[in-house]
Structure 1
Amino acid sequence: MEFWEISSITAMHKNRDLVLGIDTSNYKTSVAVIGSEGKILCDLRKLLKVKQGERGLRQSDALFQHIENMPYLLECALAGGQASRIAAVAYSQRPRPVEGSYMPVFKAGISFGQAVATALQVPSFGFSHQEGHIEAIRAGSELPANRPFLCYHLSGGTCELLLVNQDQIQIIGGSKDISFGQVIDRAGVKLGMAFPAGEEMDRIAMKTQDSSQALKKIPYDGLFFNLSGLETQWSRTAENRIKAGEETDSLIRELFDKILKALIQITEQAAKETSINSIMFTGGVSSSRYISGKLKTHFENSPLFIEFGDQSLSQDNAVGIALLGGRKLWR
């Protein structure tokens, strides 16, 4: 964990030693507070509501729910005199740190973040959602801050292999179409699970002993791959099994095994091509106990260093955004 020195920026506010973080992603409203030593003092998250049987939310619906959720989360985060100690507000303002990256849901975080900062008369900083994901895991990891590393960002809408060199982030691999998270969520909804279905699917994969042999290999193109064919085949196979009254747990296990095999193959190839042996995982799919456990076991005796960090911070949260705000303010 990094430590920061209080800079002259906050000298006028001697008692202000906290940073408020806000993240408004596709499916979760998040607020966090961190101290000047990087300690997490508050980590609040509220999952957005998705109707049973549906596979996601419209941006307008998600934005409306963020606006409804944020006042209460901010009230909780700033209770007990915390507001008077806030030195800066950080918020996610776009999906990725590239020109043209945009999603309406982040307008909620931008608006609330800037409004709170103005009311408290403190600076505000905007970052990308992806940068927040990376920082949430990296800050508490053993990865050196000044050396490049590979990072998987695996979430409901993102499936990218990144080359991270300090503040520079480059996509070098990943899915060309849908993400691992989308495949898993759609499979779960197909079986009647609530969206997002990742945690329930993961529990089934963990407890299931046998893996079916019904799915084709994921097609690769260097460090990139396609997943839409896997999703279609899994869906059709599941439909046939349900109609025949057959179990689907082994099919869920095979789906996770296909994802696992793809990650192993791409990781080994990427390490060879880049000569980088440090690989970090972040995003909701990275919190899968089945996938992370199998990856740790596979690479246990290899020269590659696999870092999952605190997996409770892999899913959407505002901790990484708050930590980035602290770095910006105090470094």
Structure 2
Amino acid sequence: MLVMGIETSCDDTAISVYDNVDGLLSNNVYSQKIHKKYKGIVPELAARQHLKKIIPLIKKTLIFSQKKINEIDLIAYTAGPGLVSSLIIGATMAHTLGFSLNIPVIPINHIEGHLLSIMLEKKKLNFPFIVLVVSGGNTQLIYVYDFEKYKILGYSIDDAAGEALDKIAIMLGLNFPGGKNLSKIAQFGVSKRFIFPRPMTKNKNNLNFSFSGLKTFTKNFINKYNFLDFQTKADIACAFEDAIIDTLFIKSLWALEKYKIKKLVISGGVSSNKKLRLYLIKKLKKNKIQIFYNTTKLCTDNAAMIAYVGIKKFHKKNNCVPYDIIIDSKLKLNFNK
């Protein structure tokens, strides 16, 4: 069975073709460059770029997969959460294709895609496990008991980790995408020259995240300087990144200990951060906890994870819709455990 995945939740246009027998056949992403000069995502411009790129990307993906459009059996698309103006492009395309080909269409929760993206890797992971979803829009700890059986253990009550990294990067005068550039400059920082707070890490029973206070602390710290030379910028970036990473580790460890789980999956765009990966590997190894993460292409927003979840849901006869376009910018992850 062939399923086409369509992902347009934010500023990346992504299309994939997945076969339930042969696995991922093709996975392509177009990352929009236009937002760089605005130092942030402009929703209207993002939607226009999706509209411009989605059909050429579908054609490219079909060529790479060596399949024809009339061989597709199912369309899975991101219904939310995300930017409404971006979501509607992918949803409309999915339902248009589904109607014209007379095949089922299935809406997918973007977060559920990240939760199960690890299943696309060659090394298969057995349930249960805990997932740390960390991206520009989300920071969550989720207990994955089984497929469609999830429990949200903690979430960001204000800025997500990726969002906080982007904002501090802008304060340091770095270009968009901020998080990546902050990480690059942090490599030149002197470790522990500055030590920033680890927010909400005093109460083990609270697994929520809050990075707004850390962001404000860092902003005030930056404002103390009339001029920031390269080394000071690098040291601040290093201290801020360390605070984020250490906080993510502390909360994850608390969750793993509380639920007696020995497997942690990190997913989402920020999970591609090499420093985060190495830190978690080192720290969790001491506690005999295994850590799993995707290849870089499957960490960021992609359609492969949407296609995978789509085919799993289809086999359970769940959530197929008769071409009624469904999107929700604040779509919640359903869980029944």
Q: After TM superposition, is the score higher than 0.5?
A: yes
Displaced runs of 4+ in structure 1, greater than 6 A? none
1:1-331 equivalences in 2 (<5 Å)? 17-37=1-21, 39-48=23-32, 49-58=34-43, 60-79=44-63, 81-95=67-81, 103-140=84-121, 141-144=123-126, 147-166=127-146, 167-220=148-201, 221=203, 222-241=206-225, 243-245=227-229, 247-329=232-314
Q: Answer whether contact 1:143 1:278 (CA < 8 A) is retained.
A: no
Q: 1:242 to 1:68 in 2, by over 3 A?
A: farther
Q: Answer whether contact 1:33 1:43 (CA < 8 A) is retained.
A: yes
Number of equivalent positions: 307
Q: 1:225 to 1:36 in 2, by over 3 A?
A: closer
Q: Answer whether contact 2:73 2:104 (CA < 8 A) is retained.
A: yes
Q: 1:150 to 1:212 in 2, by over 3 A?
A: same
Other-structure match for 1:6: none
Q: 1:188 to 1:47 in 2, by over 3 A?
A: same
Q: Answer whether contact 2:190 2:234 (CA < 8 A) is retained.
A: no
Alpha-carbon displacement from aligned partner over 1:36-65 (angstroms, at most 9, x marks no partner) = 22522211111233142433323x333232
Q: Answer whether contact 1:187 1:231 (CA < 8 A) is retained.
A: yes
Deviates more, 1:182-191 or 1:34-43: 34-43
Cα-Cα RMSD: 2.2
Q: Answer whether contact 1:38 1:323 (CA < 8 A) is retained.
A: no
Q: Answer whether contact 2:132 2:252 (CA < 8 A) is retained.
A: no
Deviates more, 1:74-83 or 1:290-299: 74-83
Residue identity opposite 1:86 in structure 2: I
SS in 1 for 2:153: strand
SS in 2 for 1:247: helix
Q: Answer whether contact 1:55 1:186 (CA < 8 A) is retained.
A: no
Q: 1:87 to 1:190 in 2, by over 3 A?
A: same
Unaligned runs of 5+ in 2: 317-337
Residue identity opposite 2:21 in structure 1: E
TM-score of the pair, normalised by structure 2: 0.83
TM-score of the pair, normalised by structure 1: 0.85
